Amino acid sequence: MRKLQVAIVAPSLDILGGQAVQADRLLRAWRGDAGIEARLVPINPTAGALGRLGNVRYVRALVSELAYLPLLVRELAHADVVHVFSRAYFWFLLAPLPAIVMGRAFGCPVVLHYHNGEAPDHLKRSPVARAALARVNRIVVPSRYLADVLGECALTTSIVPNVIDLERFSFRVRDPLRPRLLSTRNLHRLYNVECTLRAFQIVQRHRPDASLTVLGSGSRERALRLMAEALRLTNVRFLGRVPHDAMPGYYADHDLYIQSPDVDNVPNSVVEAFASGLPVVSTDAGGIPRMLTNLEHGLLAPVNDHEGLARHVLRLLDEPETAQRIVRAARRASEAYTWPRVRPEWLHLYRSLVAASANRALCRPSPRLGK
């Protein structure tokens, strides 16, 4: 049987984030597979080639778009399935929308893979996005939360979980559990790392030996560094952007995972913490309560409640039995995100769409011959 050719339209790892990580994991997982040949069509084909111009936001977007559109034409012309990772707001118009339009023009079934935790606001504000999503062959989301959000817009979805390679993350139960906290969210406003810093201030009052490592980059980095100084925090390290292949080592070197987003879906970082044996303390934003049951797989506090987050961290440090029970349950939950569980769902989806597309082509009436 001929391999299905799948064009995965997504950011490369030059734009480090959940979509790039998931696209890279899918590409690695399909490599050498007997049924699928997948290739990346990067939405950022000029990344790393712009020099200083790459720091100018709109210049970068324009140059990237001029390279991206011809690349779409070349790559999608040979695809059996077009698998498009979706971005939100203005970026939806620049990356997913052209891929949807071109995929449809080439007669390929189009899968729109919607990850964004900002979906409620994005779809409310953008009739263009709602119309585009209504015209793809299948919308895939990684969580029941997003399925419900899109359902409110009368959009039908399929749920396929994110993928994680458990072999890359070494699980161990921390005994003793030490106050070595890790945060891995990008430093943007919606992830509210400010709340994490305020929570850490309370933790450090009770445990002066506590440390916090902050990974990630973003528009709030300078403000967060200044905030840490103003709060007189000690043992805080801002390490900036870290290559994804290096992430397992950071999980292995820490004991607790903390995050405080205001908006979210099903973050990869939480599953990575599950797989590594770090108890998770998080705010209950978006789809997080659907993947992390409070007191079972981690501890949840209301959005922007730094005092609640601090109480949870201190509770875990004071109750090692609770922490150990939680990390074991979380590790079991992480198995739902492994490739052997997820592969059959993607394979069935791709094949069913190609078969349906072929049937529609056969059912089209032949053009009448002229007399």
Q: What is the pLDDT of residues 23-80, one digit of tens each?
A: 999 999 999 999 999 999 999 988 655 545 555 556 777 888 899 999 999 999 999 9
Question: Regarding predicted confidence, which is higher, 18 or 190?
Answer: 190
Q: Say yes or no: 132 and 188 in one domain.
A: no
In a domain, 343, yes or no: yes
Tell me the C-alpha distance between 304 and 282, whole Å.
10
In a domain, 64, yes or no: yes
Q: Say yes or no: 228 and 149 in one domain.
A: no
Give the residue among 245, 119, 272, 255 at the shortest CA–CA distance from 184.
272
Sheet holding 36-42, edge to edge: 36-42, 4-10, 81-86, 110-114, 138-141, 158-159
In a domain, 370, yes or no: no
Note whether 209 and 278 are within 8 A (CB).
no
Q: Where does residue 46 rank: exposed (0-12), middle (13-18), buried (19+ CB within 10 A)? A: middle
Q: What is the pLDDT of residues 187-217, one digit of tens each?
A: 999 999 999 999 999 999 999 999 999 999 9
Token pair belonging to 244: 């994804």
Q: Say yes or no: 52 and 87 in one domain.
A: yes
In a domain, 307, yes or no: yes
Give the residue among 192, 251, 183 at the shortest CA–CA distance from 214.
183
Predicted confidence band of residue 368 (pLDDT cuts 50, 70, 90):
very low
The SS3 call for residue 296 is: coil
Report the chain's mean pLDDT, rounded to a whole number: 91
Task: Evaluate if residue 296 carries a pLDDT over 70.
Answer: yes
pLDDT above 90 coverage of the chain, percent? 78
Predicted confidence band of residue 151 (pLDDT cuts 50, 70, 90):
very high
Tell me the C-alpha distance between 274 and 128, whole Å.
37
Task: Evaluate if residue 370 carries a pLDDT over 50.
Answer: no
pLDDT on residue 57: 58
Beta-carbon count within 10 A of 60 CB: 16
**CB half-sphere exposure, 371, CA atoms < 13 A:** 0
The CATH number assigned to the domain holding 48 equals 3.40.50.2000
In a domain, 369, yes or no: no
Q: Say yes or no: 353 and 272 in one domain.
A: no
In a domain, 328, yes or no: yes
Mean pLDDT over 152-180 rounds to 94
In a domain, 371, yes or no: no
Q: Say yes or no: 280 and 348 in one domain.
A: no
Indicate the pTM of the whole model.
Answer: 0.88
Q: Say yes or no: 41 and 179 in one domain.
A: no
Q: Say yes or no: 135 and 223 in one domain.
A: no
| Domain of residue 107, residue span | 4-163+338-363
* CA distances from residue 93 to 86, 89, 132, 335 in whole angstroms, order as listed: 10, 7, 10, 35
Q: Where does residue 178 rank: exposed (0-12), middle (13-18), buried (19+ CB within 10 A)? A: middle
Domain total in the chain: 2
In a domain, 368, yes or no: no
- Residue 258 C-alpha from the chain's centroid: 17
Q: Say yes or no: 249 and 322 in one domain.
A: yes
Q: Say yes or no: 268 and 319 in one domain.
A: yes
Q: Say yes or no: 88 and 193 in one domain.
A: no
Peptide bond into 367 cis (omega under 30): no
Q: Say yes or no: 309 and 348 in one domain.
A: no
Q: Say yes or no: 252 and 146 in one domain.
A: no
